Amino acid sequence: MKAKDILDEIIANKRFEVDYQKKILSPEQLMDTVSGVNNPKLSMREALLRSDTGIIAEFKRKSPSKGFIKENAVAEEIVPAYEKAGAAALSILTDEVYFAGTLKDLRTARSLVHIPIIRKDFIIDEYQLYQAKIVGANAVLLIAAALPLEEYKSSLAKAHELDLEVLLEIHSEKELEYITEDIDMIGINNRNLGTFHTDVENSFRLAMQLPSDSVLVSESGISDYQTIIRLRKEGFKGFLIGESFMKSENPGKELEMYIQSLKKSLSKE
């Protein structure tokens, strides 16, 4: 199955999933719940601008392309270790079918850490934005390839209305039209949707075509910290890394050693 077909399959499943959730808890009931939410207000954008490393550490049990990475990963153990190791922000996968994540993982993370958290999922309905707000997310991922342009603009506006920042994910030049002045962060996914091939050069190529004041995040395929040093020189502020840490025996310790090596190299620049 081609990756594009997999994306279509994921989106179709996500629509079914959200429709089912609405039958259990209506949109009106969900909206009523938001008014009682009092989570800490943390800016992922500002955290990346302040950070000297910009690492967004991801909690991820599984992926569609590689299967289980760490099937029995426990958020209560890994998430606080990520913060202690020096992560600037956290990415929590909440898709259950393809990534073995849950909204409970994010709610758990919010109760344990004091850094910004982004809900990483396939957002195709405003219902999911309300969910993100309720469980404690500070930001959400909106994927250009998963949303028609007008739906994206509507979701961006609703996210901001809920005081959620948005990381817009793009993959290619044809998605540059999604970039607006009010976008908080722009993520460049280095994974080709047609082949699953990962090439970090995609970040360098697209960065040259983006507004100079953009808060840029490079996603997928980053393992060597020397790559981060190169990306930082091109203006990138954030680096979303999950698999490299999650596949290790101790993700928090792996991140700690990674950041120490990165800082040591940066000090020599």
The residues annotated as belonging to the active site are 58, 60, 120, 169, 189, 219-220
Of 126, 55, 62, nearest in space to 93 by CA: 62
Q: Across the strands, what pairs with 67?
A: 63
Contact yes or no for 128/162 (Cβ under 8 A): no
Beta strands 67-68 and 62-63: pairing type?
A: antiparallel
Residues 6+ apart with CB under 8 A from 213: none
Q: Which residues contact 114 (CB under 8 A, 6 or more apart)?
A: 40, 42, 83
Token pair 């909204």 is at which residue?
Answer: 103
72: number of Cβ within 10 Å: 7
Residue closest to 101 by CA, chosen among 88, 113, 85, 117: 117
Q: What sign has the CA pseudo-torsion 159, 144, 87, 43?
A: negative
CA separation (Å) from 249 to 29, 69, 73, 126, 252?
41, 11, 10, 37, 9
CB of 95 closer than 8 Å to CB of 124: no
Could you tell me what percentage of the chain is helix, strand and coil, using 3-state DSSP and rounding each to the nearest 5? 50, 15, 35
